[in-house]
Structure 1
Amino acid sequence: MKNTDNQFDENSNQKIGGWNSEKITFDLKKGFHNVFLDELKDIYLSEKAILKAMPALIENADSEDMSEALNKQLEFTQKHIIRLEDIFYSLGESEIIPKQET
């Protein structure tokens, strides 16, 4: 009997025999993890951009109400950044967080 563990069907490009569902599951988890990290990075960078732009918006606000609302949003943004950094640390991905400039 012929061993087909590492052979592929040329027509369907699928592995013949030796189906390794553990590897496929691991690859899927790794892929989902990477997508999750990419999305978190995008959110993190967006929050950092908002944090950087917010002081100018507050300074140029036309009314006291607008200034208060922007200050409140600034506080929310700072909390979001802290939460995201906590997530990166808990996932062991702290290298994503840029070093603080002195």
Structure 2
Amino acid sequence: MHEIKINDLRSFAKAGNSTVKLDSYYHYEIAKIKKDGIYVSGGTIFIDGRRTELKTQVPFYEIYKHIDTIKQGRVLLAERRAGKLIGTWKYEQMIGEMD
């Protein structure tokens, strides 16, 4: 099994449509992976009378330990097992196709 590293998170961002489910520290929130970090919801604010959702960018190295699962679309690519972020068989299959 392949352990997911920070560089792998960056490759998920390049592929697009990738999300992470975070642990209890972030209230089990689902956040979007982008090339410069993971965007976590910061609540809602009002600007010029319109309701807007505030997103906070958190660097990969800060949030890595709080990631429980990684999905690309509806496909589960990685999950945390015994404290490590491990790629699923679908992730292994995806890597094999890239080589």
Per the normalisation by structure 1, the TM-score is: 0.20
Query: Normalising by structure 2, what TM-score?
Result: 0.21
Q: Using CA pairs under 8 Å that are at least 6 residues apart, name the structure with larger relative contact order, 1 or 2.
A: 2
Q: Looking at CA atoms only, which structure, 1 or 2, has the larger radius of gyration?
A: 1
More helix per residue: 1 or 2? 1
Larger strand percent: 2
